[in-house]
Amino acid sequence: MRAVYPGSFDPFTPGHLDVVNRARALFDEVVVLVAVNGLKHPGTGEEERAAAVRAILPVEWTTVTVAAWRGLTSAYCHRHDAGVIVRGVRNTTDLHNEYQLAAMNQSLGVPTVFLPAQPELAAVSSTAVRTLTPER
């Protein structure tokens, strides 16, 4: 089964990498979907962020691909024969927000699997990394 792991990935963090690694153990293929979120204003475009993710992924992870996408994740899943969405959750706030998205995607025919963050990575967020990283 092909799984899709969507996010803005601005930037791609060690927590994201861990979720991809665990997802690839569960699914035949994993697509890291660098998506556009109208509520977020990333420092770079989705194609640039996708290239940055590709550069981070180990070359031996041959079942993992990266794609940029503008549109609903469920539409990508239907168009590319992906049967499930993977989402990482760090805390109860994430779970609450992700649950609402999962319910919407389920109503559109695509279930979601939640992978809890490893405890040592739970405090890492893209926002925190951006705040601590000098001008990109």
Angle at 44 between CA 40 and CA 46, to 5 degrees: 80
Catalytic residue among 24, 49, 74, 126: 126
Catalytic residue among 16, 24, 49, 87: 16
Catalytic site includes residue 16? yes
Catalytic site includes residue 96? no
User: b or e along 83-119 (b: 16 or more beta carbons within 10 Å of the residue's beta carbon)?
Assistant: ebbbbbbbeeebeeebeeebeebeeeebebeebebee
Catalytic residue among 8, 22, 40, 78: 40
Catalytic residue among 79, 90, 96, 107: 90
Question: What separation in angstroms does the CA of 124 have from each of 14, 27, 120?
Answer: 8, 25, 9
Query: Known catalytic residues?
Result: 16, 40, 90, 126
